[in-house]
Each structure stands twice: as C-alpha cells, then as structure tokens.
C-alpha cells in the first residue's frame, strides 16, 4: 500500500467508531424516551377522534339497517291500514244500504199494518151489521110466524101496530141496505 498506517491508529479509529456508535444509540434511546413522555396532546386527540369516527360509522351502518327495516314495516303497516279502510268503507256502505232497506221495510210494514187494521175494522163492522140483520130477520121471521099462527093480533092495538110497523119497515130497509153492502 502506498503508506503504512500504524496498527494503533487503526485500532483507535475502530474504537472511536464503536464508541461513537454506542453513544449515539444510547443518546437516541434516551431521547426517544423523553419524546414518548412529551407526546403531543393533538396526537391523542386525533387518535380519539379517529376511534370515535370508526364507532360512529359502525353505528350509522347499524342505524341505516334499522331505518330500512322500519321503512319496510311502515310501508306494510300503511298497506294494511289502506286495506282495513277499504274494508271498513265497504262495510259502512253495506250498513247504510241495510239501514235504508230496513227503514223502507218498516214503512211498508206500518202501511200494511194500518191497512190490515182498517180491513179488520171493516170486517168487524160488517160482521156486526150482519148479526144485526140476522137478528132482525129472525125477529121478523118469528113475528110473521106468530102472526100466521094467530098468536099475535095487531087488530086489537092499532096504535102499537103503526109504531111497530114503522120501526120494522125502517129496520128492514136498513137490513136490506146492509145485505147489499155486505155482498
């Protein structure tokens, strides 16, 4: 080699190099400890915000799934309500129709009852008149039978005869009118 380097010098250079390296590593480890102790509070805040952000994102995802499920439930509920409203309105229409039919039936029933009661009273009146006529005819028949047998003699009481004949004539006229009306 061009020049000779004493061996002591090489050993000293190597020793100095090792000593420098050793001191720098010790110094670096000590400074990193002091830096770890003196952490910036903004870094802690950033890390906490990032953690909160991740939590919020997971909550947003779960809440969005819940919202979707609730929206489908709401749509189903609205459809059910519409169906029930349609059924209720249909039933209300039926009820209204039945009420009007019932009112009409009640009116017709009342009319028929009044007509029936009128006919019943007419029938009763005609039966009473028929019985009166039958009674008068029976009385007239009995009196003619008595006159024919000679039990009754009106020649003895002329005044009574005129009164009795007048009443009989009127009764017979009424009876004949009633029989014509009954038929």
For residue 163, is pLDDT > 60? no
Question: What is the rounded CA–CA span in Å between residue 114 and residue 12?
Answer: 145
Q: What is the pLDDT of residue 42?
A: 85
All structural domains of the chain with their residue ranges:
52-182
Q: Label residue 156 by pLDDT band (50, 70, 90).
A: low
Tokens 């009306």 sit on residue: 181
Q: What is the pLDDT of residues 112-154, one digit of tens each?
A: 999 999 999 999 999 999 999 999 999 989 888 888 787 666 6
Q: pTM, whole model, 2 decimals? A: 0.39
Question: What is the rounded CA–CA span in Å between residue 108 and residue 95?
Answer: 20
Question: What is the rounded CA–CA span in Å between residue 61 and residue 74?
Answer: 20
Q: What is the mean pLDDT of residues 65-83?
A: 95
Contact 133, 179 (CB under 8 A): yes
Q: Label residue 157 by pLDDT band (50, 70, 90).
A: low
For residue 55, is pLDDT > 60? yes
């Amino acid at each position: 080699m061009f020049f000779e380097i004493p061996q002591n010098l090489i050993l000293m250079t190597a020793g100095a190099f090792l000593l420098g390296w050793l001191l720098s590593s010790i110094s670096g480890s000590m400074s990193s400890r002091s830096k770890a102790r003196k952490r910036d509070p903004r870094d802690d805040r950033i890390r906490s915000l990032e953690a909160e952000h991740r939590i919020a994102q997971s909550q947003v995802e779960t809440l969005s799934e819940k919202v979707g499920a609730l929206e489908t439930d709401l749509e189903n509920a609205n459809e059910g309500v519409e169906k029930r409203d349609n059924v209720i309105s249909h039933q209300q229409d039926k009820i209204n129709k039945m009420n009007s039919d019932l009112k009409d039936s009640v009116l017709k029933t009342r009319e028929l009852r009044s007509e029936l009661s009128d006919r019943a009273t007419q029938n009763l009146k005609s039966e009473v008149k028929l019985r009166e006529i039958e009674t008068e005819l029976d009385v007239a028949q009995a009196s003619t039978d008595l006159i024919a047998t000679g039990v009754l003699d009106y020649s003895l009481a002329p005044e009574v005869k005129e009164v009795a004949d007048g009443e009989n004539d009127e009764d017979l006229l009424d009876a004949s009118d009633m029989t014509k009306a009954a038929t």
